[in-house]
Structure 1
Amino acid sequence: MAAAVGQAAPDFTLMASNQQQISLADFRGKNVVLYFYPKDMTPGCTTEACDFRDYHPEFSKLDTVVLGISPDDVKSHDKFTAKHELPFPLLADTDHSIAEAYGVWVLKKMYGREYMGIERTTFVIDKEGNIAKVWPKVKVKGHVQEVLQFIREEL
Structure 2
Amino acid sequence: MIDIGDKAPSFRLQASHGREVDSGKLSGRPYLLYFYPRADTPGCTTQACGIQESLPKFDELDLTVIGVSPDPVAKIDKFAEKFGLQFPLASDPDHALADQYGTWVEKTMYGKMSFGMERSSFLVDGQGIVRGVWRKVKPDAHAALVAEAAAAL
Q: What TM-score, normalized by structure 2, do the two folds share?
A: 0.98
1:88 and 2:87 equivalent? yes
- Distance in structure 1 (CA, Å) of the matches to 2:24 and 2:73: 20
State the partner residue of 2:134.
135
The Cα offsets for residues 30-65 of structure 1, whole Å up to 9 and x where unpaired, read as 110110000001000000000000000100110100
Q: Quick one: distance in 1 between partners of 2:20 and 2:150?
A: 26
2-side partners of 1:67 and 1:15: how far apart?
11
Task: Name the counterpart of 1:15.
Answer: 14
State the AA in 1 paired with 2:135: P
Query: Does the 8 Å CA contact 2:19/2:88 hold for their aligned counterparts?
Result: no
Runs ≥4 residues deviating over 2 A: none
The aligned counterpart of 1:57 is 56
What amino acid does structure 1 have at the position aligned with 2:60? Answer: K
Report if aligned partners of 2:34, 2:119 keep a CA contact under 8 Å in 1: yes
Separation in 2, partners of 1:19, 1:104? 25
Query: How many residues were matched structurally?
Result: 153
DSSP-derived class of the 1:132 partner: strand
Q: For residue 18 of structure 1, give the secondary structure of its aligned residue in structure 2.
A: helix
Q: Secondary structure at the match of 2:51?
A: helix
Please state whether the residue corresponding to 1:50 is helix, strand or coil. helix
| RMSD after superposition | 0.8
Cα offset for 1:115?
0.4
Determine the structure 2 residue equivalent to 1:111.
110
Structure 1 unpaired stretches of 5+: none
Distance in 2 separating the partners of 1:56 and 1:124: 15
- Is 1:39 paired with 2:54? no
Instruction: Using structure 1 for the length normalisation, give the TM-score.
Output: 0.96
Match of 2:28 in 1: 29
1:126 — aligned with what? 125
Q: Which residue of 1 aligns with 2:96?
A: 97
Out of 21-30 and 6-15, give the one that drifted further. Answer: 21-30
% identical equivalent positions: 42
Give the superposition deviation at 1:20.
2.6
| Cα deviation code 1:39-93 (max 9, x no counterpart) | 0010000000000000001001101000000000100010000000001000000
